Amino acid sequence: MTDLESRLTRLSTPGLRPPVLPDADVAYTLHDTPIGTMLLAISHGRVVASSFDDEETMTDRLARAVSPRVLRQPGPLDDVRRQLDEYLAGQRRAFELDVDLVLASPFQRLVLEDLPTHTSYGRTTTYGAVAGDIARPKAARAVGTALGANPVCVVLPCHRVIGANGALTGYAGGLDAKRFLLNLEAKS
């Protein structure tokens, strides 16, 4: 490349501005919480993700499952963030949010959909009990896997489900996060 050509490649002006786009089909934001950074996403007014997974993984999944028009737009998530912060500060016991389990399989939906009614604030239940609640008493292990894949963590309280022997077993956000949430609910 000649000197003139490399001068051309550097031709620029300062103060470039990123674009501003209309409301996304899927709007998401990264939200810092006491239990780690969470990716929150909303589509047509319904929460589609509240996850500890990384940005690239989650936005790829949302692009495939909902629409490729996925944008980082914090505005549409203001209410979700507010409710989550209140909950994590011990000032809220239930979420008033519409959830869309578009990232879940049919069986995961069966397990996750009614979690707020099958569990209660400040109490734990077991994988076996949840399996019984959905009329699949032998599916405790599958229930555990479905809960582990919860795309809408905290809002759908999979952290309230523990092993029959009292072991916390596992959590997408790590066992420390699960312990934090259970302690929070026990205190508040």
Partner 1 sequence: MRSTYVMALRLPPFQALIDAHWQDVARLARALAGPDDGDDVAQRAWEKAYAAYPALTSAKNLRSWLLTITARCATDVHRARKPQRPLDEAPPVAVDGPETADWPDPDLWRAVNDLPERQRFAITLKYVGDLDHHGVAAALDTTPAASRRLVSDALATLRTKLGVHDD
List the catalytic residues: 158
Cβ pair 152, 48 in contact under 8 A: yes
# binding residues, partner 1 (CB under 8 A): 34
| Distance from C-alpha of 178 to C-alpha of 34, rounded to nearest angstrom | 12
Residues 6+ apart with CB under 8 A from 146: 104, 105, 107, 108, 110, 111, 112
Token readout for 63 is: 């692009």
70 forms part of the interface with partner 1 (CB under 8 A): yes
Distance (Å) of CA 27 to CA 41, 99, 187: 6, 14, 33
Residue 65 interacts with partner 1 (CB under 8 A): yes or no: no
Q: Whose Cβ is closer to partner 1: residue 57's or residue 183's? A: 57
Segment contacting partner 1 by CB under 8 A, of 3-11, 81-89, 165-173, 179-187? 3-11
The residue within the footprint of partner 1, chosen from 35, 48, 49, 62 (CB under 8 A), is 62
Does position 30 interact with partner 1 (CB under 8 A)? The reply is no
Residue 73 CB, shortest distance to partner 1, in Å, is 9
Of the candidate spans 11-19, 87-95, 128-136, 162-170, the one that interacts with partner 1 by CB under 8 A turns out to be 11-19
List 64, 82, 123, 141, residue binding partner 1 (CB under 8 A): 64
57 φ/ψ angles, rounded to the nearest 5 degrees: -60, -50
Neighbours of 139 (CB within 10 A): 20
Binders in 82-141 for partner 1, by CB under 8 A: none
Up-side HSE of residue 92: CA atoms within 13 Å toward CB? 16
**Does the footprint of partner 1 cover residue 63 (CB under 8 A)?**
yes
